[in-house]
Structure 1
Amino acid sequence: MANQSPGGDSSPVIIEVNYESSLSTGTDVARYYLSKSVKDSTKQQYTRVYDIWTEFCQQNGVPEFGADHKQLAACLSLVMLKSESYSKVVTLSAAIAHEYRIRMLQSPTTHESISLLFRGFRNEHSQERVAKRPMTGEILSKMYSHLYRPEHGRDGLKASVVLWRTIWRLSLEYHTLGRFSDIAKLQKKDVVYKPTPSPHLKILFKGGKNDQYSEGSERIVASNSDDKICPVKLTINYFQFLGPTYSGYMVPSCTPKNTPNPNKAVSYSGALTDMKKLMSMLGYDATFYGEHSGKRGGATAAAANGATESQLKRLGGWRSDAMAAKYVDLSINSRISMSQLLQK
């Protein structure tokens, strides 16, 4: 039985199973399948918060996989009190439930008291979620200019791995409406340059949040007549930067020698830190931008230039009109820009 290794590595890991008619063997296989019941992107979210539970258990002498609903309620309440982040306690609760499910144990998250606890969280800490600002064409243009500065050599080939992977990823999020988790999985073979009928990129996203049946989703990125802001030209230069023999992840982590690691993609937290550092360097307040800013900026630009809801749904991989609409920025500045486009 083969599966992908932890962390999204595409190299297969073979689980050897003696196919005997035994309870222990069947239990081991069941645990394996239960561990694959959520997408890799969801596992990454769980991993980022699960340590909170293990530390709470260690500090308070609570069994990690034998806790009752009272102990869980205490942990969740402390997290809510400290962070005031409802989404954080929801994710933590889901992560704990997942770990219990893998071990086929009854999770304390199912107790009625936990449901009532979450209702109390919502009532006491009700707050309107403020959406992060969208990436704009102007911001992308500044990123391209920064990459192509003289000190970074011809076509930016002397720039750092971090700068390249950050700008290329944000540009791709903007031009494909792709999620970070989808783009982080891309390998070089998934990004193909096509010179005809006009220069463009053909990109295959597979295994994303909205790809329920692993059918994949193909996106096309057209070239721009201005090489200085062309995503296709950027990708060709990035291929050259990575080298002709490179075949790994397109958003790689770095080796100790500051070279791209083809076998491991950058983590979500690492990518977010890189993006915020770049935004600050370019003179923007990084707190207003997040990992959905690229996708939101692309959706807003497409809508401003006449894209229909059905086109946005198809391009962004959304299954409902409501989700597509949520990514279009309708702030006063955005509406002014849309109005100005109509007057050209």
Structure 2
Amino acid sequence: MNTRPSIKDKALLAASTTAAPPQAPATVARTGPGALVRHLQSESIISAENQNLKEQLAQWDGAEPHRHLDPKTIRASRWANRHPDSFQNPEFDSLRDEIQHAGGNIQPVLVRPLEVPDGPFLYELAFGHRRHQACLVLDLPVLAMVRRMSDQELFSAMDRENRERKDLRPYEQGVAYRRAIEEGLFSSLRKLATNLGVSPSTVSTAIQLASLPETILQAFNSRLDIQYRWVAPLLERFEKAPDELDARIKALGRPHKLGGQQVFAHLMGAQAPAPKSISVKGQQTVKIVLSGRGAKFVFQKMDADLLGEVEAAIQAVLERRAGR
């Protein structure tokens, strides 16, 4: 019996094959060519998505991620260089009021995550101690950049930010430098200076200032008032005439209302001028701060109209004296 398919059978077989529904992709993918086509299509889609993500990330190249943190979870750095007086002066009060008005700090602080939580603390502060303190007092979240850093990187970032902002006082700077040397963060003064990009003489003077005898430091109402240029003459007076210097310190008495320049002049042998002020109706309205460079008038309140009158009065006095 002939079992070979006839022409009619072949035609019916072809028709049935053409009319059959298309196979599902999964069925096609089971073959070598089908799997390859599907893989290439998938790779093309992924490549396009990656390119799109790269283009989006390029817009943020170099940007630091910011987030709002609970200030109670941030501890001060062991290298913290802010003296308590920095949180108890008009400058800090103004910063706190500004942050309160804005609903938080606009300029972010920098923190690093702690490898192991320290009680409630999850982060360590690198810089922005006053901003952090203001948010802590106001019970506001603090805007922060989070970055993993070594001790040296943290110290360098803290020092660089403070020097760029120019709001760190010489005493605070000296305390930070001295602590970095004493605790072995840097093996020498010169290496510290090189790492920070400052001159060794600047580091040396700052450390000398922070290391002035305690009796001299306490003679000032605030250690933050002491200037770099006073360090050498104060040390010379302490070495050559310690008894006279001690007598002058005792003569100041505590408390006193003298400014830093007045205290320095007194310790160096000049007569410290008595503080002056102008009162109206029993209320002190103007404080007069005298120094070797002249005088500074500090008004309790100053609006535009008053400023204009004061400028006109000063101009008149100066012109009258110039005409003598």
| Same-fold call, TM cutoff 0.5 | no
User: TM-score, normalization: structure 1?
Assistant: 0.23
* Higher RCO, Cα 8 Å, sep 6+: 1
More strand by share: 2
User: TM-score, normalization: structure 2?
Assistant: 0.24
| Max Rg structure | 2
